Structure 1
Amino acid sequence: MSEEVRLVAWVRGHVQGVGFRWFTRAKALEIGGLSGFALNLADGRVQVVAEGAREGCEGLLDWLQGSDTPGRVEGVTEIWDTPRGGYDGFAIR
């Protein structure tokens, strides 16, 4: 049984207006078992919150930090926490 975790990531770079949230949701659904959301922030970053199995969240983080994302990611800051629940699937906010 995998450990359930909460990942909160802030993605910097040219990540708004390029479909970043849509692709993040698609990747989370592809990984499976993740719930949460992707949200544009006023300062130009995208906040990603994902809850689920540690392996799935680590896979999503690897993708966020990789070169397959739309736009241009300059950096990702993340924190790990215990899941809080209350998400229905993976949403774009």
Structure 2
Amino acid sequence: MDNIRAHLIIEGRVQGVWFRDSTRNEATRLNLTGWVENRFDGSVELIAEGAREEVKKLIEWCHHGPPGARVTMVHEIKEDYTGKFDSFRISY
């Protein structure tokens, strides 16, 4: 299995629209691990690890997010897979 890591910063109307909870649900459905959190600048940041195809599905999902979100930009930061997470959680 080819595992990868995605580190994303998502901009737009992404806070106050259940983006973190919906991301956790989607990541869990895809068997991914990592975390998602709101940032002070109004964006959302996440790290997700798992099978390449499943991580790609989450990245695609992040380009639109849940109903009510309006994503304007998704920044991808290249990082190596670590395997250090055992679940996907919301970070506060």
Query: Does TM, normalized by the shorter one, top 0.5?
Result: yes
Write the distance in 2 (CA, Å) between the matches of 1:58 and 1:45: 20
CA distance in 1, matches of 2:57, 2:50: 11
Q: Give per-residue Cα distances to partners, 1:27-63, cap 9 Å, x unaligned.
A: 001112x100101011111001001111111000010
Give the AA of the match of 2:73.
G
Aligned residues: CA RMSD? 1.3
| Kept after mapping to 2: 8 A contact 1:5/1:57 | yes
TM-score, length basis structure 2: 0.89
- Could you tell me which of 38, 61, 64 is aligned with 1:63? 61
1:79 equivalent in structure 2: 77
Runs of 4+ residues deviating >4 angstroms: none
Which residue is equivalent to 1:7?
6
SS of the equivalent of 2:16 reads coil
Question: Quick one: distance in 2 between partners of 1:61 and 1:87?
Answer: 18
